[in-house]
Structure 1
Amino acid sequence: MKKKKVFNVLITVVMLTGLVVIVGQVLSKNKKENAAKTAIVAQADGRVTVRTTTVQKDSLAQNIMANGNFIPAQQMNFAAENSGRVTSVLVDEGSRVSVGQVLAIIKADQLNVDVESANAAYVNAKSDLGRYESAQQTGGVTAQQVDQAKLALVNAEARLQQAKLKVGDTYVRSSINGIVNKRLIEPGAVVSPGTQLFELVNISSLKLAVTVNEQQVAQVKEGDAVRIRVSVFPDQVFTGKISFIAPKSDASLSFPMEIALTANPGNKVRAGMYGTAEFDFGAGAPVLLLPRSAFVGSVSNNQVFVSAGDSVARLRTVTAGRIAGEQVEILNGLTAGEKVITSGQVNLNDGTAITVVQ
């Protein structure tokens, strides 16, 4: 039994030794191949293989796209103006409402008491003024006392009007034509000034809210026609007109813009949906163009490598202009016909030897 175990151990050792030999041979072969490749690279005199493009003049496609959301023409959040208990809610979510329609009623017992008190004070002040005016005719009171009575009457009338306004505020009325999007109260709820009651939206017309950069905003104006595509209706094209352009950029240096949807057949487009505005400004005069890939790092660096005689890379500072997709306008720093490197820049420095491939 012991002899059998020893025999098995010997076999395992032999197999492992053979495996080590095979692995060593593979590593040795890979090392030789890598050495051969290194020798080939060394024979290339350290040149970097690159691709180039020729600087040409062409018309810059001036199509601009901006994404955004559709917003309602009007949106109102109604809040309570007085404290009290809600006695009635007269609309539900989805209800259509019109200007002046009562949406809810808030209990106004205390406010009614205030109206009665203010009315009594007004009647009393009016009677006092009458007595003072009668007494003035017989010399019983002075003109100053009569003036004070008139002032008291004016103040009493103002307090009465104020009390009546507060009672009127217990009737929550709509100030727009629209639809109840949210109902935030129920009968019996106790509210205080500022408590949110309803959210109303007017979707009789919709607007697409987008943002554009400073280069784009300079090419549009209010009233311009715009094509609109809605993400959930990819096969349909809608039309709109620019109704608002912000006079000042936001924190990201973008300009908010609103585009009124001129037609919405079947009211298929709803507030909150995603949309894309497509601005088409046509082709302009020919300009020098380069692909984005030609720039070192990014377009904002304004640096490219120029191929000098297809043998040396030269770093060149340029001025980039408008950007349309993958094409960048070059304002200065290059001339038509020069060759600019579009790949391999990561391995280049000014003066690096290159080999240009097609």
Structure 2
Amino acid sequence: MLKPLATTVLATCLLGLAACSSKEPSGQASANPAIPVTTAVIEPSTWVDTIEAVGTTKARESITLTAKITETVRKVNFSDGQQVDAGDVLVEMTSGQQVAALAEAQATFKDAERLMKRNDDLVRQGTVSKQVADTARATHDSSQARVALLRAQLADRVVTAPFSGVLGLRQVSDGALVTPGTIITTLDDIDTIKLDFALAERNLARLQPGLELTASSVAYPGRHFSGRITSIDSRVDPITRAILVRAELPNPDHALRAGMLMTVRVLQPGREVLALPEIAIEQVGTGSFAYRVKPDMRVERVAVELGARKDGKVEVIHGIDAGTRIVVDGTVKLRDGSLISDATPAAVAPQ
């Protein structure tokens, strides 16, 4: 009885194996369908390299206005944040005593001038000696110098704007007693802003006056200020190995103020490169690969050498030629030799 039972079990197993083997060909036929991906033809494009840094803004011209003498403020002629022109009188000091002294000195000078001219005439006539005329001339010159001194003292009692700009906060009031060095206010010319920033010395050969740049500040999200490099320092800092660069940014609306921190991007001259979207690159260890589409719609995995990266794109230095169609999206599903179907949306014709 055991022998017929064993025979039955063996027959059953053989039938099962036969059934499985008969299903394999149909399964293989349905395997490896075309994988939908998006592709693009790579063409040369203009690539602008950038050098990034952070910098600090400065006014084109900036001073702190202070008192030159000890005196009482008679009148303040400005308000906080006022726009002023060169020569505008900002503060007037008490000057009654000096005005009177100037008037007296001017009168003395006129008398000395008349006496000098008269003595000169008498010397020519031989009536008085030359020594008398020399004394009169010395008195004249001394009176003239005193008039100039009093005028200078009066000028120190009037504080004027040396250039056009925006005033800061007022630090004095009418009637206040000021002494030499007392801060009155600040004055900044911010129609154009200077921007100073440091770059590593390795960038020195890439810098030159006239290069364009853009700058941004957290104070104005999404806004970019354009400018140009105007000068490069003559020395590299021996400690930081950095060089100081200065640029100027037009600031017609006075949005920028002195002392702001800004992110700077120095724009290099454009160059022609082949660039791929970063998502088209497959990174395996230290190697970088892209999938090139062959005429039979199968892909070939090629090693590429990459360069600079910017705005979601990467420069290809070696490995792919211009005019090559590569897979952009869908690389994670591919292997070398995979069959693909191009699902790239057709370009919409202009209306």
1:194 to 173, 177, 181: 181
TM-score, normalisation: structure 2? 0.57
Change (3 A) 1:180 1:135: same
Change (3 A) 1:262 1:132: closer
Paired with 2:89 and 2:123, the residues of 1 have a C-alpha distance of 49
Contact 2:211–2:266, Cα closer than 8 Å, also in 1: no
CA shift for structure 1 position 253:
4.6
CA shift for structure 1 position 106:
0.3
The residue type equivalent to 2:54 in the other structure is N
Q: Deviations over 1:197-218 (max 9, x none)?
A: 1201122122222122322233
Q: Deviations over 1:293-316 (max 9, x none)?
A: xxxxxxxxxxxxxxxxxxxxxxxx
Paired with 1:133 and 1:197, the residues of 2 have a C-alpha distance of 50
The residue type equivalent to 1:268 in the other structure is A
- Residue 110 of structure 2 is aligned to residue 123 of structure 1: yes
The residue type equivalent to 1:209 in the other structure is D
Note the 1:60-209 alignment, pairs <5 A: 63-209=50-196
Change (3 A) 1:137 1:236: closer
Residue 248 of structure 2 aligns with which residue? 260
The residue type equivalent to 2:204 in the other structure is V
Residue 302 of structure 1 aligns with which residue? none
Change (3 A) 1:138 1:282: closer
Contact 2:190–2:251, Cα closer than 8 Å, also in 1: no
Q: Deviations over 1:318-351 (max 9, x none)?
A: xxxxxx99xxxxxxxxxxxxxxxxxxxxxxxxxx
Unaligned segments of structure 1, at least 5 residues: 1-60, 285-323, 326-358
The residue type equivalent to 2:189 in the other structure is N
Change (3 A) 1:78 1:263: closer
Change (3 A) 1:249 1:152: farther
Q: Deviations over 1:7-32 (max 9, x none)?
A: xxxxxxxxxxxxxxxxxxxxxxxxxx
Residue 218 of structure 1 aligns with which residue? 205
Change (3 A) 1:230 1:97: same
**Where does structure 1 differ by over 6 angstroms across 4 or more consecutive aligned residues?**
none
Bigger drift between 209-218 and 104-113 goes to 209-218
RMSD in angstroms over aligned alpha carbons? Answer: 2.9
Change (3 A) 1:111 1:255: farther
Paired with 2:251 and 2:114, the residues of 1 have a C-alpha distance of 63
Q: Deviations over 1:221-271 (max 9, x none)?
A: 11111122223334233311012222234574533222111466x543333
Equivalenced residues, count: 227
Bigger Rg, which one? 2
CA shift for structure 1 position 129:
1.0
CA shift for structure 1 position 167:
1.1
CA shift for structure 1 position 87:
0.8
Unaligned segments of structure 2, at least 5 residues: 1-47, 272-307, 310-351
The residue type equivalent to 2:246 in the other structure is E
The residue type equivalent to 1:97 in the other structure is V
- Please give the secondary structure, in 2, of the residue aligned with 1:160: helix
Note the 1:225-264 alignment, pairs <5 A: 225-250=212-237, 252-262=240-250
- Residue 261 of structure 2 is aligned to residue 274 of structure 1: yes
Change (3 A) 1:137 1:179: same
Change (3 A) 1:144 1:218: farther
The residue type equivalent to 2:73 in the other structure is V
Percent of counterpart pairs with the same letter? 24
Contact 2:191–2:250, Cα closer than 8 Å, also in 1: no
Change (3 A) 1:88 1:235: same
Paired with 1:282 and 1:97, the residues of 2 have a C-alpha distance of 40
Contact 1:67–1:276, Cα closer than 8 Å, also in 2: yes
CA shift for structure 1 position 91:
0.7
